[in-house]
Amino acid sequence: MAKEIKFSLLYRDMWQSSGKYVPTVEQLTEVAPAIIEMGCFARVETNGGGFEQINLLFGENPNKSVRDWTQPFNEAGIQTHMLERGLNGIRMSPVPSDVRRLMFQVKKKQGTDIARSFDGLNDPRNLELSIRYAKEAGMISQAALSLTVSPVHTVEYYTALADTLIEMGADEICIKDMAGIGRPASIGKIIKQIKTGHPQIPVQYHGHAGPGFQMASILEAAYAGAEYIDVAMEPLSWGTGHADLLAVQAMLKDAGFKVPEVNMKAYMKVRSLTQKYIDDFLGYYIDPKNRMMNSLLIGPGLPGGMMGSLMADLENNLASLNRWKVKNGQPELTQDDLLIKLFDEVTYVWPKVGYPPLVTPYSQYVKNLALMNVLQLEKGKERWSMIADNIWDMILGKSGKLPGEPAPEIVAMAEEQGRAFYNGNPQDLYPDALDTFRAEMKQHNWELGQDEEELFELAMHPAQYRAYKSGEAKKAFEADLAKRKAEAKAPAATTVVTATPAAPATPAAEGHPFMPKQLVVKVDNEEFAVSISYPGSDHGVAQSPLKESASVAPVAAAQVAGAMKEVHSPLEGKFFLTKESSESPLKVGDTVKEGDLIGYIESMKTYNAVTAEVSGKVVEICFENGASVDEDDILVKLQ
């Protein structure tokens, strides 16, 4: 009898692997019946990491979105699953244990059946509570192995990790090939060994298409015994996303597996609706390069899900770097030049910081560190001159145990800066906090919500939730979208020829001879008009959390005598005087010494400390708190 393979649709991850946003709740509930009608999905990924922050950035209530979106699948008997990040819950930073426990309780009551839990370092200690809390809440606990390729990440390493997680109580195992760089043969061996030792444990394979291994990996996973395969569908499959449902189904059917048939009328409806959402507004946040596969990703192993933010980071920092080069009489770089330098530097940096699997948030950390090194080296400075605090936390063990050992030069640098390595359980560093958030909700007369779901949102996403409640998030999103649409419609004043051609500025490819805008597809004698959009060059970079501290206006310079000294921004980003409420912000009249902290530049989801290179008295703070700054902007003036 043929072995059965079941499919899971990654409708959430399809969007977030391509761009910045996911559809609104109205759009999600519109497409849900057609997904069900396709008749081929045993599971649908409905929520998880990133999903709810996006609702908040829209000005939407994420709890209503999750409930309304999961309900049709619950009623149809299709299992729903979410993605959560272990110690980090569904955000980028560590979460107190009481907030983590409430998360599973809330998500189960909202209709989520399966919790896919991964730890970016593959530290079982960070997953133990996820497994326990998921099962306590009545969810299926699916523990994920964050797959990468390095001297320490062997078949035996992953087999032993799976054994540990199953012993902790995991009901299922997910092979999370987040960069798509897992070698097909090795993936097959890992799954086969897991199934040999635990034949009753279901295995689900998840991979990205990026460097091109994925179809072979899916076939190997099926042969080795995987029961579930994650798939995407056009117009958001391939590229930085995932393999397309139709291709996977045809491949596995030909290989002799029992696979579900696809209702093509419903497929075309889902496809058309997805394209409609792109044309509506989501395409303004999808870089067209994210539709391309790139074998250069094999080397650095960066995940497809962060390529949108990567391209945005490159563009922003390239402009800043080239301004510096012009100012200093040096030839400018193209984006491709900088991309290759970055990939090479990631390959250099990664083993130096202990081979953390390149998955959220550690993929961003390694990429950020590599990019900072490249920018400093291009200016004739040394590596490692800018390491953000949360990157140090990863290196020091505060987020979990690194798979490898940090290089001696990194250890020596930590010792020189008085940074201590931590060997305890990371969760112990983050005490319970729900009572504090309950008090805040009471102070504002905010409802705790059904099943305390509003309390959960505040505790998980404090800054974004406050911005949502104030209306500022919705206002900022609508203003940004209006600006992008206006820029797309405005005629270009001049034509600039560059070494790297710019992407189209609008979701429509007006007049391009190689880009059809509509196809007519006939299915079962019924014609479907399929619009094809070509998204603009705006990026999939995730919006930074809104700063919680009060805005500080720029302070006018006092009348001073003597030479003026300046503290310049080391990179492009947002300037903050503090990053924690416990810190005291710099103010005019303060005296600083060389090496003292001035503030932070938030760039690429990390806070980079800015220190004074000279001593002096503060006579002017040149930017307000949270203001955008360019590299070399004067932040503070000293006398």
Outline where 137-236 has alpha helix (H). 155-167, 184-197, 214-224
The pair of three-digit structure tokens given for residue 102, joined into one six-digit string: 């409430």
Res 231 pLDDT > 60: yes
Pairing of strands 140-146, 114-117: parallel
The half-sphere exposure of 244 on its side-chain side, counting CA atoms within 13 A, is 13
Angle (CA) 276-360-599 rounded to 5° is: 105
274 found inside a domain: yes
| CB distance 390 to 602 below 8 Å | no
- Cα dihedral across residues 331, 336, 337, 342: positive or negative: positive
Q: What is the largest CA-CA distance in the chain?
A: 90
174 found inside a domain: yes
- Beta carbons within 10 angstroms of residue 509's beta carbon: 17
Give dist(CA 44, CA 42) in Å, integer. 7
75 found inside a domain: yes
Q: How confident is the model at residue 127 (pLDDT cuts 50, 70, 90)?
A: very high
pLDDT tens, 473-513? 999 899 989 998 888 887 654 434 333 333 333 343 333 33
| CB distance 176 to 118 below 8 Å | yes
- Counting the structural domains of the chain, the total is 2
| First-last CA distance in the chain | 83
191 found inside a domain: yes
Assign residue 255 the CATH number of its domain.
3.20.20.70
Please tell me the pTM assigned to this model: 0.80
Assign residue 620 the CATH number of its domain.
2.40.50.100
Give dist(CA 489, CA 477) in Å, integer. 19
181 found inside a domain: yes
The pLDDT, as a whole number, for residue 510 is 35
Tell me which of 259, 291, 323 is where a domain ends: 291
> Which residue range is the domain that position 273 belongs to?
6-291
Tell me which of 291, 319, 336 is where a domain ends: 291
611 found inside a domain: yes
Tell me which of 291, 325, 349 is where a domain ends: 291
Sorted by sequence, the CB contacts under 8 Å of residue 572 that are 6+ apart come out as 316, 317, 319, 320, 601, 603, 629, 630, 631
Contacts 24+ apart (CB under 8 A), 246-249: 247/215, 248/7, 248/215, 248/218, 249/7, 249/40
421 found inside a domain: no
If you search the block for the tokens 């079941």, which residue do you land on? Answer: 6
Give dist(CA 338, CA 344) in Å, integer. 10
Nearest CA to 410 out of 397, 426, 427 is that of 397
190 found inside a domain: yes
Res 592 pLDDT > 60: yes
Give dist(CA 303, CA 148) in Å, integer. 10
Which has the minimum average pLDDT: 392-396, 490-494, 627-631? 490-494
More confident residue, 492 or 451: 451
